[in-house]
Structures are given as structure tokens and as C-alpha cells.
């Protein structure tokens, strides 16, 4: 797999297709996919030898205190091959994020073990996730 940091237009289309296959992203449009990629400070793609997108993750950050990881996704036919591990390691080892104090993310309970293996913890004190939906 090759690592890319700038997605070409066809990669955006492929990312949107990956999003359509997951319950947590299946309502995203191509336009929204383009906007979220453009609005993220760091995007990492994993492409195969045919330049097809097989994995993706993005980061929103202040480059000092926090880096919030979003959309860690791997195509169904490339799962169980270590691509999720590779994406997380590429983020944590990214030169622009070397001085960030903490990496944070949201995940389902069934993914906690995966992220714990990368040093993440659910022990964040009394912090609660809060949301205000913008209609």
C-alpha cells in the first residue's frame, strides 16, 4: 500500500463509496465528502497498486494540545490486513503532530480494544461527550 496525503478527485469518489457502506457515514454525499476532506488539516489515504483508495483517516487539530481523529475507515476487502493499524501509526507519527499533547477519537465499544492497543484509553476523568445538533 502506498500512503498519500492529498486525495485526487477519484479518491474522493472512492472515499464517498466507502462511506456509503458504513452505518455511521452512509448518508454523506459526494459534496459533503469533498468538504470534510478540504476542511481537515491532515488526511491520510492508503492506495493499492492501481491507485484505488483502500483506507483513509483524517485529523482536526490545533497542532499543540489536541488532534481529533475522524473517519478511520478501511475497505471491506482490505480489512484484517493491518491497514487500520497503519493509519493510526501514520497519524501518531506524523511530523506535524509530533508535539500534540493528546490524540482523541470517538469509537464504538467493540473497537475499544483495537484503540487500546494503540495507547488510547477510556479513562478521561469526568469528561462527557456532548452534542448540539445544528438543524
Query: What is the 3-state secondary structure of 25-69?
Result: CCCCCHHHHHHHHHCCCEEEEEECCCCCEEEEEEEEECCCCEEEE
The whole-angstrom separation of Cα 90 and Cα 53 is: 16
Full set of structural domains in the chain with CATH = 2-116 (3.40.630.30)
Query: To the nearest whole percent, how much of the chain has pLDDT over 70?
Result: 100
* Among the listed residues 49, 118, 56, the one whose alpha carbon sits nearest the alpha carbon of residue 83: 56
pLDDT grade for 42, boundaries at 50, 70 and 90: very high
Average pLDDT (61-80) is 93
pTM summary value:
0.91
Residue 43: predicted pLDDT: 98
Residue 128: predicted pLDDT: 83
Does residue 77 have a pLDDT over 90? no
Amino acid at each position: 500500500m502506498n500512503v498519500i496525503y492529498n486525495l485526487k478527485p477519484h479518491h474522493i469518489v472512492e472515499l464517498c463509496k466507502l462511506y456509503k457502506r458504513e452505518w455511521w457515514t452512509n448518508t454523506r454525499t459526494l459534496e459533503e465528502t469533498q468538504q470534510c476532506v478540504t476542511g481537515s488539516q491532515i488526511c491520510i489515504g492508503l492506495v493499492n497498486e492501481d491507485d484505488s483508495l483502500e483506507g483513509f483517516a483524517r485529523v482536526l487539530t490545533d497542532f499543540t494540545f489536541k488532534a481529533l481523529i475522524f473517519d478511520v475507515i478501511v475497505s471491506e476487502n482490505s480489512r484484517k490486513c493491518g491497514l487500520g493499524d497503519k493509519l493510526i501509526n501514520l497519524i501518531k507519527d506524523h511530523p506535524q503532530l509530533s508535539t500534540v499533547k493528546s490524540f482523541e477519537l470517538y469509537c464504538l465499544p467493540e473497537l475499544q480494544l483495537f484503540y487500546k492497543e494503540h495507547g488510547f484509553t477510556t479513562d478521561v476523568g469526568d469528561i462527557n461527550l456532548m452534542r448540539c445538533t445544528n438543524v
